Amino acid sequence: EKSGYASFMLKEIAEQPKAVADTLLGRIDGSGTLSLDEVRIPAAVLREVDKVVVVACGTAFHAGLIAKYAIEHWTRIPCEVELASEFRYRDPILDQQTLVVAISQSGETMDTLMALRHAREQGARVLAICNTNGSTIPRESDAVLYTHAGPEVAVASTKAFLTQLVACYLVALYLGQVRGTKYGDEIGDVVRDLSGISGVVERVLETMDPVRELARSLAHKNTVLFLGRHVGHPVALEGALKLKELAYMHAEGFAAGELKHGPIALIEEDLPVVVVVPSPRGRSVLHDKIVSNIQEIRARGARTVVIAEEGDEAVVPYADHLVRIPATPTLLQPLVATVPLQVFACELATARGNEVDQPRNLAKSVTVE
């Protein structure tokens, strides 16, 4: 069943272009209009939504953090993202105009299920983003947008994450379409870019050999830090989670803007720090700020692993290792920037002799609180 791959995780990483394409299939027509028939919440109800709350756990939570940037930018509806396990004990403020988005690969995560039940009791509408047909979370939701990643066997989520991102973008764009928000032109461009993104992910996968080599060379390290900004911040969190789960290493993701507020004290000679760099086009202020962050940490001895867009020359002088990713619109960058981090964690864990499909102490689906 591993089709020649050494692990399910490697197979699932390789399946990402198809998973992404399958999740988009039939949901965008030739004119760039989204048709999400399965979202049975009537357009009139979606037009009245005044708040979106995303609830999820683990990797699915990271997809939710990225969704917030897309939803708020394209729809101007306020969006909160919360760990499902925290949400229901917080007495959250919800009503009929709240759209709760519950993201779950398995559809059986108890914390997420409890959060959605809590939301429905308050009258909120719940839209599930889920990879498992007929599982509990979609069954208990008002509507479901299925991700079409196919079965994910490895405990560490990879292809499901990319398809969750696609689904989140589709929800954000659909809300924008239904509500006629003023980002009309931009939405057209993004829909076009999203339609072609599977081929871009494919290209990233073809260039992963240096990442594998780098991962093997860092297998003896105790700590790796990850930095990102804007949508790169959740990508950094995801990179750190993958490394914890698979390599049993201390790994932390930080918002690069927080460096001076504490984490920079951790930097010491030869500490590997992976930095996800935003596109120099678009939000160039963020790009320039992160380049100075890289300079600062390198001056303090960090071994910098820089993930940056092709053609971004500003990072070159400060990168001990440079990983190139194709240029994408800012909000879509997580679809390509996450891939090297998955490969990195998988290879590093393998080099440490770990069983990547079945990491210690973890279960694929957490059905207890």
Of 103-111, 226-234, 267-275, 276-284, the window that binds ligand M6R (rule: CB under 6 A) is 103-111
Shortest Å distance, C-beta 197 to ligand M6R? 21
Residues that bind ligand M6R (rule: CB under 6 A) add up to a total of 15
Q: Which two tokens stand for residue 150?
A: 């196919």
Quick one: which of 104, 147, 328, 342 contacts ligand M6R (CB under 6 A)?
104
Q: Does 163 bind ligand M6R (CB under 6 A)?
A: no
Q: Is 153 exposed, middle or buried (0-12, 13-18, 19+ CB in 10 A)?
A: middle
Positive or negative, the Cα torsion across 214, 216, 218, 223? positive
Nearer to ligand M6R, 33 or 367 (CB): 367
Q: Which two tokens stand for residue 211?
A: 């990442």
Long-range Cβ contacts of 18-21 (<8 Å, 24+ apart): 18/198, 19/147, 19/148, 19/149, 19/150, 19/159, 19/160, 19/162, 19/163, 20/162, 20/163, 20/166, 20/197, 20/198, 20/201, 20/335, 21/198
Quick one: which of 112, 147, 293, 304 contacts ligand M6R (CB under 6 A)?
112
At position 121, the amino acid (one-letter code) is: E
DSSP three-state, residue 304: strand
Nearer to ligand M6R, 75 or 164 (CB): 164
DSSP three-state, residue 103: strand
Of 12-20, 39-47, 98-106, 345-353, the window that binds ligand M6R (rule: CB under 6 A) is 98-106
Q: Rounded to a whole number, what is the distance in angstroms from the first to the last CA of the chain?
A: 31
Angle between helices 209-217 and 334-351 (to 10 degrees): 40
Quick one: which of 13, 36, 57, 128 contacts ligand M6R (CB under 6 A)?
57
Nearer to ligand M6R, 161 or 318 (CB): 161
Nearer to ligand M6R, 49 or 171 (CB): 171
Report the DSSP beta bridge partners of residue 28.
34
Q: Does 105 bind ligand M6R (CB under 6 A)?
A: yes
How would you classify the pairing of strands 79-83 and 272-276?
A: unpaired
Q: Which two tokens stand for residue 199?
A: 């081929």
Shortest Å distance, C-beta 342 to ligand M6R? 9
What is the DSSP annotation of 215-272? Answer: HHHTTT-SEEEEEE-TTHHHHHHHHHHHHHHHH--EEEEEEGGGGGGTGGGG--TT-E
Q: Does 234 bind ligand M6R (CB under 6 A)?
A: no
Nearer to ligand M6R, 130 or 275 (CB): 130
The contact mask relative to ligand M6R for 242-261 (x = CB under 6 A, - = no) is: ---x----------------
The contact mask relative to ligand M6R for 261-280 (x = CB under 6 A, - = no) is: --------------------
Nearer to ligand M6R, 143 or 366 (CB): 366
At position 246, the amino acid (one-letter code) is: L
How would you classify the pairing of strands 303-309 and 98-104?
A: unpaired
DSSP three-state, residue 128: strand
**By Cβ distance, which residue is nearest to ligand M6R?**
58
Q: Does 365 bind ligand M6R (CB under 6 A)?
A: yes
Q: How far is CA 211 from CA 6, 48, 324, 342, 347, in A?
A: 17, 46, 10, 10, 9
Nearer to ligand M6R, 150 or 326 (CB): 150
Q: Does 60 bind ligand M6R (CB under 6 A)?
A: yes
Q: Which residues are catalytic?
A: 364
Quick one: which of 7, 23, 59, 75 contacts ligand M6R (CB under 6 A)?
59
Closest of 141, 176, 156 to residue 55, by C-alpha: 141
Quick one: which of 23, 85, 98, 106 contacts ligand M6R (CB under 6 A)?
106
Residues 139 to 158: which contact ligand M6R by CB under 6 A? 155-157
At position 30, the amino acid (one-letter code) is: G
The contact mask relative to ligand M6R for 282-321 (x = CB under 6 A, - = no) is: ----------------------------------------
Give me the residues that bind ligand M6R (CB under 6 A), please.
57-60, 104-106, 109, 112, 155-157, 245, 365-366
